[in-house]
Amino acid sequence: MGYNISFLAIFPGFLIYNFLIFKYGFYPYLGGYFTLVTAALSPLLVLGFKLNRFDCLFVFTMLFFLSVSVIHYMLSESGVAQVELLVWTVVYLFNVLYLFFLFKKAYVFYVHIWPVLLYLVFYSLMIFFNLEGTYHFNPRSMSKDVSTYLIFAFLYIVPVFIVFSYLLSKNKMLLLCLFFFVSMSSIFLIGSRSVLIFYVVSSLITYIYFKGAFTKEFVFVCVVALLLSMLYLMFDIELNNRIMRISASDESVSNRYEYIVFALNEIIESPIWGNYGAYLSEFGSVSAYPHNFILVWLNNGLIGLVLYLWLLLLPALAFLGKRKRFLRIAECSPYFYFIYVLSFLLYIFLLMKVLVSDQYLTLYLGVSSGVFSLFYSVYKSERVSV
């Protein structure tokens, strides 16, 4: 019961909350909703879990990051900026841990896939009915400035991964291709460039990893997507969408480059200890950080970097080193196959996010690590029974 409440409060709950604000003018009493709800429901999740070795490493790493943040706050001169940085770190750590324990029970989706599909249908309709005149989904009109397109994209793409993995593991190729095309369209309208690109790439990598080659249906979907892109270029269709405005002169791109260069210079000066929160004093904003894994080195030093890279390396060693063994078990266990596909897909997506476009405490870290922990546990049990 506690798990069901925790999951439903986040995924349908977030959308219903924002829909009521948008449609009926409700006042956003819960602000951005996500953090307050995860804080309130965390006790329902954590109780009753048995930790495996990967879990212990994950929790220890998160506690290390928290300790570094608290120590720096206690040793620095108190001020609004220092409080803001501490709150930022604690909030993301809390959310990541919440999602980690939430998705350690992702096995429920194998049995209850229809509620996830209904959720995606509801979400897609919400996106299409909230389009502006230039085919642009405006998340801020939905959330009254309390949530951003990043959260909307996160709460769409995670269920998409679940359904994609289910269809692939069940070998429903035609349905998978149709679903892939529809989900790409919805993510495009949400306007998250990195999520769209990484979804396409991670899906293709996952497909090749498990199937070895593309089917005719999958090639057809890729051709249709290419033709639609060509139509846009030929007829100069006006799409007021963030994805259509990416270029070297894009302010977002230039700012991120500046943040990365600054972080690298700080790391070169102090490679062992880093320089926690240096970007805050330099750029005056807690969000002016390098949008990749470099931030973990800057904020937590070399020890934090090693712990984080070890978390990322363990799944890679498993997926590459034991692929044949995993596939043999998957042939005998459809349930294991589903968890295997979902874990691999989420891992590839997470890897691209932290290498290119997101900070180290991304929400996808909690989801991917939680599912991999489940996969690790299921593998141990299936290895005994098969």
Percent of the chain topping pLDDT 90: 29
Q: Are 258 and 322 in contact (CB under 8 A)?
A: no
Cα 300 from Cα 306, distance rounded (Å): 10
Mean pLDDT of the chain: 81
Per-residue model confidence (pLDDT) at position 106:
84
pLDDT above 90: residue 374 = yes
> Which range has the worst mean pLDDT, 14-23, 70-79, 214-223, 325-334?
214-223
Q: Which token pair is 41? A: 């429901």
Higher per-residue confidence, 70 vs 8: 70
DSSP state of 284: S
Q: Which residues of 336-353 are buried (b: 16+ CB within 10 A; e: fewer)?
A: bbbbbbbbbbbbbbbbbb
The DSSP annotation for 53-114 comes to: HHHHHHHHHHHHHHHHHHHHHHHSPP-HHHHHHHHHHHHHHHHHHHHHHHHTTTTHHHH-HH
Of 224-238, 279-293, 340-354, give the lowest mean pLDDT range. 224-238
The answer, yes or no, to whether residue 145 has pLDDT greater than 90, is: no
State the average pLDDT over residues 43-59.
79
> Average of pLDDT values for 272-279?
87
- Picking from 120, 100, 93, the residue whose alpha carbon sits closest to that of residue 35 is 93
Look at residue 366 in the predicted model and tell me its pLDDT.
94
User: Does residue 37 or residue 342 have the better pLDDT?
Assistant: 342
Question: Which tens digits make up the pLDDT trace of 211-264?
Answer: 876 666 666 666 666 666 555 544 444 444 555 555 444 566 677 788 888 889
pLDDT, position 386: 46
Per residue in 65-81, is it b (16+ CB within 10 Å) or e — as a string?
bbebbeebbeeeeeeeb
What pLDDT, in 10s, does the model give residues 173-184? Answer: 888 888 988 888
157: pLDDT strictly greater than 70: yes
Nearest residue to 358 via CA among 280, 266, 289, 271: 289
Residue 213, φ and ψ in degrees, nearest 5: -160, 160
pLDDT, position 233: 46
- Which range (169-173, 237-241, 372-376) has the least confidence? 237-241
Overall average pLDDT of the 56-75 stretch:
92
- Decide: residue 33, CB within 10 A, 0-12 exposed, 13-18 middle, 19+ buried: buried
